[in-house]
Amino acid sequence: MWTLALADDDILKVITLGIAGVVAVVWIIASSIRAALVGRAKEATRREIAAYIAEGSMTPEQGEKLLSAGTEEGSCKND
């Protein structure tokens, strides 16, 4: 016959799995927010460089160098 009572070991397992699930969900949400913020920052940088080029305070070659910085093999990258 099935009962609703759980042994001490079973309660510990349930609590551990619950905490692990919460940590996993928080981790997924945080990484999604981080990816969105990184993408937004990259796009804002591209727009600012385009504005500098449009106003003439930067050449298109300088803008291209700035935009391609960090994409070459062996470069330092934080994302």
Predicted confidence (pLDDT) per residue in 4-62, tens digit: 666 778 888 999 999 999 999 999 999 999 999 999 999 999 999 999 999 999 999 99
pLDDT for 8 equals 75
pLDDT for 9 equals 80
pLDDT for 11 equals 86
pLDDT for 6 equals 67
Could you give the CA distance from residue 50 to residue 42 in angstroms, rounded to a whole number? 12
pTM, two decimal places: 0.63
Q: Tell me the average pLDDT across 49-78.
A: 84
Could you give the CA distance from residue 76 to residue 19 in angstroms, rounded to a whole number? 35
